[in-house]
Chains A and B, each alone.
Chain A
Amino acid sequence: MAKRIVIDPITRIEGHLRIDCEIDGGKVTNAWSSGQMWRGFELILKGRDPRDAWVITQRFCGVCTTVHAITSVRAVENALGLEVPLNAQYIRNLIMGAHGVHDHIVHFYHLCALDWVDIVSALKADANASAKLGQKLSPWKRNSYEEIKGAQARLQALVDSGQLGIYGSGYWGHPAMQLPPEVNLLAATHYLQALEYQRTINKVVAILGSKTPHIQNLAVGGVANAINLDSPATLNMERLYYVKTLIDEVNDFIKQAMLVDVAAVGAHYAGWTKYGAGVTNYLSVPDMPMDTKGASFTLPGGYIPKGDIGKFTAISSFKDKFFADNVQESIKHSWYDGDWTRHPYEGETVPKYTDFEDNGKYSWVKSPSFQGEPAQVGPLANVLCMFAAGHEPTKRYATQVLDTVSSLAGAKVGVEALHSTIGRIAARVIRCAVLNDTLAEQWTALVNNIARGDMATFNQPVFHNGVQQGFGYHEAPRGTLSHWVIIENGKIKNYQAVVPSTWNAGPRNGKDALGPYEASLLGNPVADPARPLEVLRTIHSFDPCLACAVHMVDRNNREIVNVRVL
């Protein structure tokens, strides 16, 4: 008989995710993805000055601050038909790229790796064997015996302290953990190193964005960075060279540690290339504009229906009609009043809570569709679209990872293996390598443009009476993000954000088709329903916002906290 499991802590940040699964014969036979928190943030924006929207939208989510800020200014600029100076594009691109690299490193090592890497096993590993393996796999300079032994000692100290924190809620020793001890230790060593590198690359965001976690330098019409190569108070050569140093510093880690680690995990968990494909309609948008209009991009994007790379259609500009006309959201299964499928410009946010109804309404998340179908977004969609568009760096890193997996696994693993749980994780690392190369290019483009004497960073926006509408998009770390704004007499009349986690975590759509999370869980193995590690692996592979941290927390096992009431 089917058994139902509910995984429901998760996080408030991107809407408190709850996953329900029916399990029969050791496999998931039905699934529901439910956002448990109402996000009426769009209502806050009504009546406000469109120039302030980005400051507010960057507070939507704790992890995705920068991406909502950038998408918001793009939406307003699109509505006004406003171009932005080249320097502003490059500076924004550098911020976006650095944020993306930071986010991908944190996801791979700190939010997802512990589903696959067993720390208990790492503690038992022979550090010498780990170092030898590391040195065989890659030239990474920090695979020495001393480094690895030191990491092992630090992990041991944490375990001995008894204060495991998030690490205590992992599934250590679970039968689905399959890496040999020396691989576990090598990955755990890189886990510690990754804490440093995510910080390094985030400094780029802080320098150019004036501040993290919430950048301050954006403006509708450009950026607020003043450029004067000789002034210590502005963006100058010294700062720019520092930015370049930071980009270079993380480069070897990504190419020599992270790309190798994901291949090693993939090779040892090759069975996971068969699970988790789910929805294989892939949507991504182009990004890193190289002109003032947003008609020429470094990174391509588009739409692939039904996993067929040959049927790729490119999305080519910030005004792209194919994108703008084909996005819809349905509320048939969402806790909003009515049953409609509409374009975001016509979207409404009128809450109407019912109970959790398996066949009715069961989520606060709306269900987006592209050309009437659910679509998967995220690094896998992006990598497949860039691959389809013939983007050389993407092809190079994808081939490198697949070749390493093939050689470690002793069997040929091709691009088709990417349509899977483990493929989704590999794609994120491939995208991270592509992004870091892009950062170096954007840096050069910025410096060359400044050298030509162009110091412009801002075009003044002008608001006219009447109605203007527009949209902005961004290929964010979790996938395609779009904001849709209607401005009336200089004030916001309607604002809708269609976020990556909505595309992936959305419930069944207006035609009852399963959303990407739901579909990806069907057929997923579950060895022990009481410890559903395999379900978490597939959900985590999407990078639900902030771990949508299905780090399971046992509410019945609370620690005593001493609170002094003031």
Chain B
Amino acid sequence: MDILVLGIGNALLGDESVGVKAVEELGRRYVFAPAVELLDGGTAGMELLAYIRNRDVVLIIDAMRFDAPPGAIGRVEGADVPAAFRNRISPHQLGLSDLLAAAMLTDELPDRLVLFGVEPQSLEPGFALSPPVAASFEKLLAAVVEELRGLGVDARPRTGSETEPLPAATPWAYVQNNASGSPVGKEPA
């Protein structure tokens, strides 16, 4: 089965970075078998067409406004996913809306399309997630892993002995702040 997990959002705008942080963190924590492609799509649009076309499954992780309390996680499936982006409930709906419409036009939409959306609190410039979104980050990762397991993918926590190299951390990588116990973005020294 050909599966793509696509994190999207602007890495520099607080909670908008939640999808990008999530795919990066999934890659740092797990080794998937059979392999799953994890892609940090940023806020790209048409450029992603090459990645989503003709997949069996595409799981998208993104910030999403759906009138829920900040940090709430929503799951959207199938034809509702393009509709969600058309409705502009994601901050970068337009790129994704164009992309999905193009894939529909060329008849290359993935067979199964699922969106995990997190209601954002703050989209101010910065690498850190807001406290409510940070608080549901683990739940978000667990939901995606559970979805993958449901598709028959084994998600094995890394032990350090893998042959697959550990991906390098970006400046906005998810970091656990030991002092406060809450995850924050990495700020300059």
Interface residue B74 (Cβ < 8 Å from any Cβ of A): yes
B88 contacts A40, CB within 8 Å?
Answer: no
Residues of A close to B44: CB separation below 8 A: 62-63, 65, 212-213
A12 contacts B92, CB within 8 Å?
Answer: yes
Contact pick for B75, options A9, A195, A566, CB 8 Å: A566
From A161-169, A247-255, A295-303, give the one contacting chain B.
A161-169
From A310-318, A321-329, A557-565, give the one contacting chain B.
A557-565
- A198-B46, A202-B47 are known contacts. Are A48 and B188 too (CB-CB below 8 A)? yes
Residues of A close to B91: CB separation below 8 A: 12
A213 contacts B125, CB within 8 Å?
Answer: no
**A37: nearest chain-B partner, CB-CB:** B123
Q: A564 to B77: give the CA distance in the assembly, Å.
A: 9
Within 8 A of B (CB), among A45-93: 46-48, 52, 55-56, 59-63, 65
The winner among A41, A195, A551 for most chain B CB atoms within 10 A is: A195
Q: A351 to B80: give the CA distance in the assembly, Å.
A: 38
Contact pick for A47, options B47, B84, B188, CB 8 Å: B188
B95 contacts A546, CB within 8 Å?
Answer: yes
Residues of B close to A9: CB separation below 8 A: 88
Residues of B close to A44: CB separation below 8 A: 12, 125-127
The contact size tier of chain A is 35 or more
Interface residue B50 (Cβ < 8 Å from any Cβ of A): yes
Residues of B close to A157: CB separation below 8 A: 107
A561 contacts B75, CB within 8 Å?
Answer: no
B75 contacts A546, CB within 8 Å?
Answer: no
The winner among B41, B48, B86, B107 for most chain A CB atoms within 10 A is: B86
A65 contacts B76, CB within 8 Å?
Answer: no
**B170: nearest chain-A partner, CB-CB:** A55
- A62-B95, A549-B98 are known contacts. Are A563 and B42 too (CB-CB below 8 A)? no
Residues of A close to B143: CB separation below 8 A: 566
**A565: nearest chain-B partner, CB-CB:** B74
B24: min CB distance to chain A, Å: 12
Q: A198 to B84: give the CA distance in the assembly, Å.
A: 26
A491: min CB distance to chain B, Å: 8
**A169: nearest chain-B partner, CB-CB:** B86
Interface residue B27 (Cβ < 8 Å from any Cβ of A): no
**A216: nearest chain-B partner, CB-CB:** B168
Mark contacts of A141-171 with chain B using CB atoms, 8 A cut-off: 1 yes-contact digit, 0 otherwise. 0000000000000110110010111110000
Residues of A close to B42: CB separation below 8 A: 59, 62, 65, 213-214
Within 8 A of B (CB), among A168-193: 192
A213 contacts B86, CB within 8 Å?
Answer: no
B92 contacts A110, CB within 8 Å?
Answer: no
Interface residue B145 (Cβ < 8 Å from any Cβ of A): no
Residues of B close to A4: CB separation below 8 A: none
B12 contacts A56, CB within 8 Å?
Answer: yes
Contact pick for A561, options B47, B48, B84, B124, CB 8 Å: B84
B88 contacts A60, CB within 8 Å?
Answer: no
**A11: nearest chain-B partner, CB-CB:** B94
**A47: nearest chain-B partner, CB-CB:** B188
Interface residue A547 (Cβ < 8 Å from any Cβ of B): yes
Residues of A close to B80: CB separation below 8 A: 561-563
Q: A38 to B86: give the CA distance in the assembly, Å.
A: 24
Within 8 A of B (CB), among A20-47: 38-41, 43-44, 46-47
- A48-B188, A55-B171 are known contacts. Are A565 and B73 too (CB-CB below 8 A)? yes
Q: A260 to B94: give the CA distance in the assembly, Å.
A: 29
Q: A43 to B139: give the CA distance in the assembly, Å.
A: 31
Mark contacts of B100-124 with chain A using CB atoms, 8 A cut-off: 1 yes-contact digit, 0 otherwise. 1110111100000000110000001
Q: How many B residues face the partner with a CB closer than 8 A?
A: 58
**B100: nearest chain-A partner, CB-CB:** A165
Mark contacts of B46-85 with chain A using CB atoms, 8 A cut-off: 1 yes-contact digit, 0 otherwise. 1111100000000000001010100011111101101110
B79 contacts A563, CB within 8 Å?
Answer: no
Q: A63 to B172: give the CA distance in the assembly, Å.
A: 19
Interface residue A476 (Cβ < 8 Å from any Cβ of B): no
Interface residue A424 (Cβ < 8 Å from any Cβ of B): no
Residues of B close to A558: CB separation below 8 A: 87
Mark contacts of B127-153 with chain A using CB atoms, 8 A cut-off: 1 yes-contact digit, 0 otherwise. 100000000000100010000000000
Contact pick for A56, options B50, B73, B97, B171, CB 8 Å: B171
**B46: nearest chain-A partner, CB-CB:** A106
B102 contacts A110, CB within 8 Å?
Answer: yes
Within 8 A of A (CB), among B146-189: 170-172, 188-189
The winner among A52, A199, A203, A562 for most chain B CB atoms within 10 A is: A562
B98 contacts A166, CB within 8 Å?
Answer: yes
Residues of B close to A161: CB separation below 8 A: 104
Closest 5 CB pairs between A and B? A62-B43, A165-B101, A213-B44, A563-B74, A47-B188
Q: List 28 A-B contacts (CB under 8 A).
A: A9-B88, A13-B10, A38-B125, A59-B10, A59-B12, A63-B43, A65-B44, A102-B47, A106-B46, A110-B46, A110-B98, A111-B98, A155-B105, A167-B101, A195-B102, A202-B47, A202-B50, A203-B50, A213-B41, A214-B42, A546-B43, A547-B98, A555-B88, A558-B87, A561-B80, A561-B89, A563-B74, A565-B72
* B residues with CB within 8 A of A: 10-12, 40-50, 64, 66, 68, 72-77, 79-80, 82-84, 86-89, 91-92, 94-95, 97-98, 100-102, 104-107, 116-117, 124-127, 139, 143, 170-172, 188-189
Can you name 13 extra interface pairs (CB under 8 A) apart from A167-B105, A564-B75? A39-B125, A59-B10, A65-B42, A155-B105, A165-B86, A199-B50, A546-B95, A555-B88, A561-B84, A561-B87, A563-B117, A564-B74, A566-B75
* A residues with CB within 8 A of B: 9, 11-13, 38-41, 43-44, 46-48, 52, 55-56, 59-63, 65, 102, 106, 110-111, 154-155, 157-158, 161, 163-167, 192, 195, 198-199, 202-203, 212-214, 491, 546-547, 549, 551, 553, 555, 558-566
